[in-house]
Amino acid sequence: MCPQSYPVCVKHFLVYSGLRLLVLLAVGGLAFAVGLRGWVLLVVAFVGSGALSIFVLSNPRNKLGADVGGVFHRINDRIDAATRAEDQDVTEPVAPTEQVAETDAPSRPAAG
């Protein structure tokens, strides 16, 4: 989980994004060296780097995921704390509503 410090939280994002870019450039360079050009080069570079990064970049991706999960965990904790504080503020019991007497009910016109 990422500490409260902003630069430390961003570090894993920058590291993962930079490594993804390097893998993309490496696969693209390799595809270019093999002789691929144009759209085929782009498709091979993106698909190949995506498949390769699943295995090669699992550790940085897990660290980034832990940071993102920690952010949402802290948000949920704040929501829960606010809900508990709001529930504690309601200390007076709510009075039951008065029931309408039958005589107060609207009357029907006489059949006639």
CA distances from 44 to 16, 27, 41, 53, 93 (A): 21, 8, 5, 14, 67
Q: Rounded to an integer, what distance in angstroms lies between the CA atom of residue 26 and that of residue 3?
A: 33
Distance CA 27, CA 45 (A): 5
Q: How many residues does the chain have?
A: 112
For residue range 45-78, what is the model confidence (pLDDT) as tens digits?
A: 999 999 999 999 999 999 888 888 887 888 888 8
So what's the pLDDT on residue 66? 85
Q: Return d(Cα 24, Cα 12) in angstroms, integer.
A: 18
Mean pLDDT of 5-33: 89
The reported pLDDT for the residue numbered 68 is 81
Does residue 87 sit within a domain? Answer: no
Maximum Cα interatomic distance, the chain, rounded to a whole number of Å = 100
Q: How much is the pLDDT for 10?
A: 85
Domain of residue 33, residue span? 1-75
pLDDT at 93: 58
Give a yes or no: residue 82 inside a domain.
no
Has residue 112 been placed in a domain? no
Domain count, the chain: 1
What average pLDDT does the chain have?
82
Residue 72 in contact with residue 1, Cβ under 8 Å? no
Measured distance CA(84)–CA(93) in Å, rounded: 17
Identify whether 111 is part of a domain.
no
- The whole-number pLDDT of residue 24 equals 97
Is residue 94 domain-resident?
Answer: no
Percentage of residues in the chain having pLDDT higher than 70: 71
Please tell me the pTM assigned to this model.
0.63
